[in-house]
A = this chain, B = another copy of it.
Amino acid sequence: MELFFSPLGCSMASRITLYEAGASATFTEVDPVTKLTRQGQAYGDIYSLGLVPALRTESGELLTENAAVLQYLAARFPEAGLAPSDQIGRARLQQWLCFIGTELHKTVFSPLLDRSAPEGARAYALAKAPARFDLLEHHLTGREFLLDAFSVADAYLLTVLGWSVATPLELGKWPALVAYLERLSQRPSVARARAEEGRLYAEERARHRAA
């Protein structure tokens, strides 16, 4: 398996998932600005939209979109227990993956993290945050994870919430979210993925400054 990723991007959720499963994979880094892999290949030739993650499966299929890649990995390594297998559990997992992808990632964070986004787009995104964080705060109060156990939805959520530090969002207003992030940061898979991708992110920034 080969995972196309950008350091600290939403693809980090797939790395965490692979570490949780104790699975091995080739990690191919994609520069989110130049859209080149670290080997110099044009990522647009692999996936035209240029977004990560993309997963080259063992049978050679290219799978894109975070919710699909995460659920594929959870199903590929069922012994890791990263997704419920009953009907309503699966539906709840899909609900959270969809909520994180549509309401947090694309509605709130994408415009805030994009330096080329016009001010109106950033203001619009910022105004959408409180209701969505309130919903999460309510759900996570008194709960360890989004579902009954750690799942790929947690891997995605902690990755996305981690981006807050690069935005004007002050997460301290939502104490259950802060506690959730701190708690999950202790998890070995998360700590390892964060440390590795943090280092790669710093290197990416240094390359951009030097260019």
Contacts and interface: CB of A to CB of B under 8 A. Distances in A.
Interface of A: 48-49, 57, 59, 61, 63-68, 71-72, 75-76, 87-88, 90-92, 94-99, 101-103, 105-107, 110-111, 117-125, 131-132, 134-135, 138
Contacts of A48: 131, 134-135, 138
Contacts of A123: 118, 120-121
A46 to B, nearest CB: 13
B135 A49 contact: yes
B107 A110 contact: yes
Main secondary structure, interface of A, reads helix
A105 B102 contact: yes
A60 to B, nearest CB: 11
B132 A124 contact: no
Nearest to A73: B91
Given A67-B94, A117-B124, A120-B120, A61 B49 contact: no
